[in-house]
């Protein structure tokens, strides 16, 4: 009798494990076995390949890793490794309307340009940039060695990146870039709205 009870308990245990697996699969798309296989994704700096960018402007020259968030399957972050050549600038002076950024300096030294002026940053520094104009930034590598850093920012379905030096606007991730000459009221240029519509529709009551 004891043997039969043990067999029944074992069968029930297996049944509930299978049932729980199907519950997980239904709720998250993962089984218990898959859940057990999930581990922190460790990126080894020595194993990360950096490739030079193809900038038509010679002052903007660096090497970059592949987007590490794609390898890590990150939902909420963009991040990669960048290495800025001596006497070169990072991306043009810019800020994001819908993303925060954090830079972690791994090697070297550079000058940071921001609304606060010009500051020297070096290995071990972590620099946070908020959304909006106060988060505008750009690096210049004033040293003789590469300036290596982690570039991390929050993901947004749509972000607007602005470039104060050139008056450009970049719609991300589409990379649609426009120029702007002045800030204008919301309805500027909309006075002719009726000209865009067929008369037979506008005259309907």
Is the residue at 126 inside a domain? yes
Whether 126 and 70 share a structural domain: yes
By percentage, how much of the chain surpasses pLDDT 70? 76
Work out how many domains the chain is built from and give that number: 2
In tens, the pLDDT along 70-92 reads 677 777 788 888 999 999 999 89
Is residue 174, in this structure, part of any structural domain at all? no
For residue 169, being part of any structural domain is answered with: no
The residue range of the domain holding 18 is 7-32
Question: Is 190 a member of any domain?
Answer: no
Give the C-alpha separation, 73 to 64, whole Å.
19
Any domain includes 122: yes
pLDDT tens for 120-167 read 999 999 999 999 999 999 999 999 999 999 998 998 889 999 999 998
Shared domain check, 71 and 14: no
Q: Is the pTM of this model over 0.85?
A: no
CATH number, residue 99: 2.60.120.10
Measure CA 120 to chain center.
Answer: 25
In a domain, 73, yes or no: yes
Structure tokens at 159: 């972000």
Q: pLDDT tens across 88-104, in order?
A: 999 899 999 999 999 99
Q: For residue 12, what is the enclosing H or E element?
A: helix 2-28
């Amino acid at each position: 009798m004891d043997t039969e009870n043990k067999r029944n308990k074992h069968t029930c245990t297996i049944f509930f494990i299978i049932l729980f697996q199907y519950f997980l699969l239904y709720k998250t798309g993962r089984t218990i076995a898959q859940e057990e296989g999930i581990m922190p994704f460790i990126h080894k700096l020595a194993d990360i390949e950096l490739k030079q960018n193809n900038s038509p402007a010679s002052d903007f020259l660096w090497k970059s890793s592949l987007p590490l968030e794609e390898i890590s399957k990150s939902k909420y972050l963009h991040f990669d490794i960048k290495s800025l050549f001596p006497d070169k600038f990072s991306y043009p002076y810019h800020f994001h309307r819908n993303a925060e950024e954090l830079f972690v300096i791994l090697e070297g030294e550079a000058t940071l340009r921001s609304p606060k002026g010009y500051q020297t940053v070096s290995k071990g520094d972590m620099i946070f940039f908020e959304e909006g104009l106060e988060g505008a930034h750009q690096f210049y590598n004033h040293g003789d060695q590469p300036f290596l850093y982690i570039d991390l920012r929050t993901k947004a379905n749509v972000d607007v990146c602005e470039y104060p030096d050139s008056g450009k606007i970049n719609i991300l991730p589409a990379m649609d870039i426009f120029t702007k000459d002045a800030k204008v009221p919301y309805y500027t240029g909309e006075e002719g709205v009726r000209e865009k519509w067929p008369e037979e529709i506008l005259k309907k009551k």
